[in-house]
Amino acid sequence: MSLDIKLLKKESLEQWFGKISASGRRILAPVERGGKVLFEEVSSPAEMAGDYIQTTLSAKSAVFPRCEELFGYALEGKEVKLEERKKEPQPTVVFGCRPCDAASFAILNSVFSWDCPDELFKQRLDKTAVVSISCKKSDQYCFCASVGGGPGDTKGSDVLLTELGSGDYLAEVITDKGKKLVALAPELFGAAPAEDKAKNLAKVPKEFDLKALSEKLGRLFDNNEFWLEQSLGCLGCGACAFACPACVCFDLQDEGNKKGGRRLRCWDSCGFALFTLHASGHNPRPAQSQRWRQRVMHKFGYLPDRLNYLGCVGCGRCSRLCPADMNLLEHLKEIMNRD
Amino acid sequence: MENIYKPYLMRIEKVTEEAPGVLTFKLVFVDENEGRQFEFKAGQFGLYSVFGEGESTFCIASSPTRKGFIECTFRQIGRVTSALARCEEGDTIGFRGPYGNVFPIEDWKGKNLLFIAGGIALPPLRCVIWNALDTRENFKDVTIIYGARAVADLVYKRELEEWGKRPDLKLITTVDPGGETPDWKGQVGFVPTVLEKAAPASENTIALVCGPPIMIKLTLPVLAKLGFTPENIFSTLENRMKCGIGKCGRCNVGKLFVCKDGPVFTLAQLNSMPPEY
C-alpha cells in the first residue's frame, strides 16, 4: 500500500470529527477525568485532553471490552435457551492514541485469531479504525524503540498524525480504513507539508536488543532467586495487566440466577494467585515470583515463540501505575545484564 | 457468526454414583443434528457448564467407538462441580469441545497396552481402554493396574467387574493398606509396588499413566526399571482452564498450552517441560 502524506490544518480537526460522527462512527478519544486521561466517546476535538504523554489506560477496551457478554441464557424448567449477541458493534474510530497503542491491536489479534478464531473479537476489530498521534514527549517509563516501535511508528495505525511546529498535522494515510476516513472530508487534507516529521518526534532511546533478551530469558527460567528478587515488591494487584494494551488473559464468568443470566468474558491477570489455582487447592504457580516470571516470559518469550508477536509495546503504563514502583524497563535491563 | 464460547446443550440422560462425591453423567445432545455431527478422539476434553455457575474442565470419559452420547466423570469439589452434582436426570447443561490433542492410538497397532491409574484418574484412561477393547484385534496384551485409597474410592466398579471377567484383558486392582474391606479380593498395596510385582513386559508396550502426582512420581522409576522408555510412556496433564482453546492464558506450562498441545504428553515431553503443573 502506498503511503499517502497530507497536511491537516489544526482548525480542520473539528470539521473532520463532525464528518466522522455523521458517518455513524463513534469517536473514542483521550479525555481528562480527575487527573487521569481515559478514552471516552467524544464529538469534538475540544473535549480531548491537551497535554499528556500517555493515556492512563490503553485503548484496548475498544476491541476487547473489560467485560463482554458472550451469550445470554434463559432457563425454563429443564429447558435452556441461549441467546446470542444480535447487535453488531458500532463502527469506532480510536482517535489520538499513541503509536504504541496502535501497535498493540495486532498483538491482541494474534491471540484471538490463532487456531480457533474468535469472531466476537474480530467483529469489533474490523469495525475499529485507529487514528494515532505521534509522541512529541516521552518519559523515563517509555521504551517503544526497544520493542520494535517508535514515537512516530506507523504500525497498526490507519492514519498517523504528527503535530508540526505550527500546530498543524502531518497526516500519513496508511491503510484502506484510513483512506475511507480521509475520504469523508477530502477537502480538509492538503498537499504534503515540507516540514520534516522526525524533528517533531520525542527521542526514545533503544535500551536493549530483543534477540539478546530472548536468549537471556531462555536461560533464566530456573533461576528462582532472580525472579524472587525481581518480584519482591509485587503485590499481585494486577494493575499492570489491566493497564497493558497487550495483555489478553481473561476469565469466563456466569452472572445470573436460576431463571436467566449471561456468560461474560472479563479481563484477568496472571499476577493474581487465583488465576491458576485448581479446585483441589493445588496451584502450579503458588508464589508471586512464579507469577511475575510468567508475566515476563509470556510477553517476551512464549508469545514471540508461539505467535511471532512480542507481548509488549513499551508504553510504560505498567510501570507508571505500579503501586510498588516496579519498573518493567529496569527489570528488562536487569535481565540483559545477567551473564 | 460462529461464537466459539457458545456451548452445546446436553441433556443428562443418566447419573451414576461411582464413589463418594464422584459422579458420572451420560449426556446426549439436545439438538440431535449436533449429536450426529459431533466427533472426538480418545484423550480429548471439554468444558461442562451449569448456567449461572460457570464452566469446568474434564476429559470425555467415554470411548469414541460408542456413538450418540458422551460421558464425564467428576468429583464434587468446587463451585461448578457442586452445581453439577445437584443436577438431576433430564436437566440441561452446557458442553464445549472436543478440545486438545489425542492419544495416538492408531500408531499403537500390534502393541501391548499397559494402563496404570490411581483414584479419580481412571476416567481419562477409561476412554482409551474402551476404545482399545472395542477394537481389540488391533492390540496384543492389554493390562490394567488400577488402585485407589480404599475400596469405596474405586470408580467404575461394575466395569471393573466386567473387565475382570474378560479373558482378553489382565486387570489388577489394588487399594492402599488399610483401605481394604473384609470381602476385598484384589491386592493390597500402593500402585508402584503392585506394578513392580506384576512386572509387565516393556518390549513393544505402551504405558499410559494417570493418577495423583505422588503416584506418578513413584511409578515412573518402576517403569524405567522395567525398561520403558520416556517416548513410550503417556500421561495427561490438567491445569486450570477457562477457554480451552489457547487464549485465556492460564493453562500454559512454559510455552506449551495444556489445552492445545496437551492434555496428552509423553514422558519425554514432560521431562523437557518446566514443572508448572
pLDDT tens per residue across span B185-197: 999 999 999 999 9
- Looking at residue A68, its pLDDT comes to 94
Would you place residue A51 in the very low, low, confident or very high pLDDT band (cuts 50, 70, 90)? confident
pLDDT tens, A1-17?
Answer: 457 999 999 999 999 99
B5 and chain A: CB distance < 8 Å anywhere? yes
Residues of chain B positioned with their CB less than 8 A from the CB of A310: none
B240 and chain A: CB distance < 8 Å anywhere? yes
Mean pLDDT over B32-38 rounds to: 94
CB atoms within 10 A of CB A183: 12
Query: Chain A: nearest CA to B71, how far in angstroms?
Result: 19
* pTM of the full structure: 0.94
- Name the pairing type of β-strands A159-163 and A128-133: parallel
CA atoms within 13 Å, Cβ hemisphere of A146: 24
Would you place residue B145 in the very low, low, confident or very high pLDDT band (cuts 50, 70, 90)? very high
- Which residues are registered as beta bridge partners of A40? A29
pLDDT tens, A211-251?
Answer: 999 999 989 999 999 999 999 999 999 999 999 999 999 99
- Where in chain B are the domains? 8-99, 105-236
Q: Are B97 and B60 in contact (CB under 8 A)?
A: yes
Cell reading at A75: 432457563
Q: Is the pLDDT of residue B178 over 80?
A: yes
Q: Which fold has domain B105-236?
A: Rossmann fold (3.40.50)
Mean pLDDT over B2-18 rounds to: 96
CB distance A78–B91 less than 8 Å? yes
What value does the mean pLDDT of chain A take?
A: 95
Mean pLDDT over A122-142 rounds to: 96
CB distance A119–B3 less than 8 Å? yes
B51 and chain A: CB distance < 8 Å anywhere? yes
B3 and chain A: CB distance < 8 Å anywhere? yes
pLDDT tens, B210-254?
Answer: 998 899 999 999 999 999 999 999 999 999 999 999 999 999 999
Equal fold, B8-99 vs B105-236: no
pLDDT tens, A33-49?
Answer: 999 999 999 999 999 99
- Looking at residue A2, its pLDDT comes to 54
Q: Is the pLDDT of residue A193 over 90?
A: no
- Where in chain A are the domains? 4-336
Q: Give the torsion through C-alpha atoms of B172, B173, B175, B180, to 10 deg.
A: -110
- Per-residue CA distances from A79 to A74, B85, B91 (Å): 8, 18, 8
- Looking at residue A1, its pLDDT comes to 45
How many whole angstroms separate alpha carbon A263 and alpha carbon A254?
4
Q: Is the pLDDT of residue A84 over 90?
A: no
How many whole angstroms separate alpha carbon B150 and alpha carbon B189?
11
ipTM: 0.91
Q: For the domain bounded by B8-99, which CATH number is listed?
A: 2.40.30.10
